[in-house]
Amino acid sequence: MNSPALLRWSLLIDAVASGATALLLIAGAGLLEGLFGIPAALMRAAGLILVPYVAFVAHAGTRAEIARGAVWTVIACNALWVLASAGLLVSGLIAPTSLGTAFVIAQAVAVGAFGELQYVALRRAPAMA
């Protein structure tokens, strides 16, 4: 897969995965609260934060020419999400269950992987807008 295609796919898959996570966190927060030990309000807020992110990433990934600045913004957002996830776990502000901790770690690893993939694809891509 060439770099522009890899970049486009990494953005679009990020948008789909983030959209699914947003839906899960918004619609399922009440059910997940007991399983994860994470307050439903926090999960809903995280899901709602993802909604504009998903729109932005989907928009960036569907343009004829992908703007470098948009990709750097996505990479930065992904890095911030990973840092916030780690910070949440070590802050002591919540007391997640083992399943909740695993969920936070798993989604942070996935987000970090998207950011890394986007970074690599961007660096390999020919000059873009």
What pLDDT, in 10s, does the model give residues 79-104?
A: 999 999 999 999 999 999 999 999 99
User: How many domains, in total, are found in the chain?
Assistant: 1
Does residue 20 form part of some domain? yes
Q: How many residues would you count in the chain? A: 129
Torsion of CA 95, 98, 101, 106, to 10 degrees: -170
Q: Is 125 a residue whose pLDDT tops 90?
A: no
Residue 100 counted as domain residue? yes
Per-residue confidence (pLDDT) for residue 73, from 0 to 100: 98
Residue 112 domain-assigned (yes or no): yes
Q: What's the domain range around 118?
A: 3-124
- Give domain status of residue 129, yes or no: no
pLDDT in tens, 39-79: 999 999 999 999 999 999 999 999 999 999 999 999 999 99
